[in-house]
Amino acid sequence: MSLLASTLWLLFFFSSSVVHSGAQGSSRGSLGDGICATSVVVHGYKCQELQVTTADGYILSVQRIPEGRSGNGNNNKKQPVIIQHGLLVDGMTWLLNGPEQNLPLILADNGFDVWISNTRGTRFSRRHVSLDPSTPAYWNWSWDELGSYDVPAVVEYVSNHTGQKIHYIGHSQGTLIALTSFSEGKWVNKLKSAALLSPVAYLSHMTTELLNVADRLFLDQLIKTLGIAEFSTRGIPFQSFLNQLCAQPGVDCSDLFTAITGNNCCLNSSAVSVFLKNEPQSTSTKNLIHFAQIVRSGVVAKFNYGIRDQNIRIYGKASPPIYNLSNIPHDLPLFLSYGGRDALSDVVDVQTLLDSLKFHDVDKLSVQFIKDYAHVDFIMGVNAKDIVYNAGSSRGSLGDGICASSVVVHGYKCQELQVTTADGYILSVQRIPEGRSGNGNNNNKKQPVIIQHGILVDGMTWLLNGPEQNLPLILADNGFDVWISNTRGTRFSRRHISLDPSTPAYWNWTWDELGSYDLRAVVEYVSNHTGQKIHYIGHSQGTLIALTSFSEGKLVNKLKSAALLSPVAYLSHMTTELLNVADRLFLDQLIKTLGIAEFSTRGIPFQSFLKQLCAQPGVDCSDLFTAITVVRSGVVAKFNYGRRDQNIRIYGKASPPIYNLSNIPHDLPLFLSYGARDALSDVVDVQTLLDSLKSHDADKLSVQFIKDYAHLDFVMGVNAKDIVYNAVISFFNRFN
């Protein structure tokens, strides 16, 4: 492996977003071979090379992309965006993918006025009003100064030249210098919002042994090995340090890229090749030492000089001041996006950051979790546009969603979140962290509850009644941390990392996948974020995907209990002729009638099917409220493809495997509530389910029968609080 390839681990150690800014004087003609010429103008975009001088004399290179390729519009009317890169890279990193996949050009095409900033010490920002980069004095800085001088200079310049408040985007180190600055109230008055990708603040849980070993060697060994103030990845000093690092026990240097950043899912190999040609950028040794101090101490603090007298001289105290991230203004709109495979911005460390933001206005904090993303996917992922960039630029569109329309209006805090499944579906999740009275500030002490809706509805269904009658708000008022899940294909969960809902491929799933992927993704997300076992509530289809998952031993180790309302498993005794006829027509007639993969109740195809259905003998279509679940055969089994060879290819047998519900762990606390008037979850079918649970621990199985209840009473009944929900809460409290 070449030295350049070997340095990938450090290059991406804290790769960050690019900050964009304006010029302090005339355009830099000497940068004709710089970022604008090589990576922007060649794609047909306008680009200016500019300079900004910091208060401490560093001369920074800034690129401005004032408009999209189509030359769209008046720059004075456009929203300025600053993008901030990170450690050992510069603004070029954001432009390595093609124009349809890199963030600066996507923003420009979407009508933003884009400014790319390059921090001191990088290739095009190596000038100073008096200092020379060949001297140690030039390199006497860490990320403290990047936040105190570099970014403020760029923000000030853009603000002065546009007369507008600014959107900020940072990645990794670019998030650290933003967060610490925000915590001290710096430049927040000039910002409209901030998007923080792969956010870095706390670093105690990095999952890479390579960097953990580097940390243990760092403070004493690095200075001895390099012996210089500038940390450059080129030359003998770095080779010497890397050789010592890779010789440490437990360190595998065969794939440094993955070992450091995590298993990136979605990189373009050609972009990586271009990256290898883009020489690594220098930083100061002091900067790397400052990062190591965060890893070791577990706190985000100013640089520790290691000498008591020197700390007192600079800070007025023996230890460096700690940045209190909870001081970030609570009304500053923040978008945070992080990945499940990120070895640097680990989910535990991100949760510590989110805990610091627990007082943030919930309508001003949007959090996105992408299960398959690692550190570099956020800047070079081929699907980052669809998953991350569109979410960041349109985060306000969720303002019309479930939180805004059905929770916040009643005086409750609510967060709109996103969870990506292992098969690429992007699910909408709402979190209601506390009751209307604001009962309790420590969400980690509260019991998390996931609420799962049924078929042909979404999470909004739980909230149709007033706050005193709907389950999510009742739970929140009773001290629970409430999470509302929305399955794929529903109104706010219609995105995918590569598939489009207008194509049949997007709809190639059944409730099998809802249990195997959707439910699992949400449970893991809540578990990772709260560190606690979870109570689960499902209704109708929400009970089916839970029961089948439990029968295979899935998720049960993350659950504290499960409440199953109007439980659906066996469906042979439905008392509605409408759905019985639908079952007889379904497999052959529906495909002929609709001719599409998405079953939508709107439009001519469904009307045509409904007319044929309602024309069948014995069918009364005057009340369609009961038509909210899909009818299957008399057993609970995986999807039957109807072809022996296809079933064999997928399952290894001619018929699909049957879910054995008696395999549900007998010690899992279960609460089942069903009604005598339920035409879908019929009492005979529920009894068949209970027969499957006959070996369940008696003290862990609670069954409620409500004579007058039908299917929707469990979700929308005006007396459900007194009859069902209070019983569920009492059951949960037994196992808290």
Active site residues: 172, 342, 375
Nearest in space to 368 (alpha carbons), one of 389, 343, 344, 399: 389
Specify the amino acid at residue 586.
Answer: F
Angle at 479 between CA 474 and CA 482, to 5 degrees: 65
Task: Determine the length of the chain.
Answer: 736
Distances in whole angstroms, Cα of residue 243 to Cα of each of 6, 230, 251: 10, 19, 11
- Annotate 608-640 with b (16+ C-beta within 10 A) or e (fewer): ebbeebeeeeeeeeeeeebbbbbbbeeebbbee
Residue 156: both structure tokens together: 């000030």
Nearest in space to 81 (alpha carbons), one of 162, 142, 148, 23: 162
Residue 144: both structure tokens together: 């403290």
User: What is the spatial distance between Cα 453 and Cα 487, in angstroms, rounded to a whole number?
Assistant: 8
Q: Answer yes or no: are the C-beta atoms of 434 and 476 closer than 8 Å.
A: yes
SS3 200: coil
Specify the amino acid at residue 638.
Answer: K
CA 540, chain centre distance (Å): 28
Specify the amino acid at residue 342.
Answer: D
Alpha helices, DSSP H only, in 143-267? 143-145, 151-162, 173-183, 209-217, 223-226, 236-246, 256-261
User: What is the spatial distance between Cα 463 and Cα 407, in angstroms, rounded to a whole number?
Assistant: 8
User: What is the spatial distance between Cα 356 and Cα 180, in angstroms, rounded to a whole number?
Assistant: 12
DSSP character string of 624-648: -TT--S----SS-BS---S-HHHHH
CA atoms within 13 A on the CB side of 54: 25
Q: Are strands 447-452 and 480-485 parallel, antiparallel or unpaired?
A: parallel
User: Under the phi-then-psi rule, with left for phi > 0, alpha for psi from -120 to 50, and beta for the rest, what region is 13?
Assistant: alpha
Q: Answer yes or no: are the C-beta atoms of 614 and 579 closer than 8 Å.
A: no
Burial class (CB in 10 A: 0-12, 13-18, 19+), 313: exposed
User: What is the spatial distance between Cα 482 and Cα 476, in angstroms, rounded to a whole number?
Assistant: 6
The answer to whether the Cα torsion of 55, 333, 359, 329 is positive or negative is: positive
Q: Answer yes or no: are the C-beta atoms of 354 and 442 closer than 8 Å.
A: no
User: What is the spatial distance between Cα 585 and Cα 588, in angstroms, rounded to a whole number?
Assistant: 6
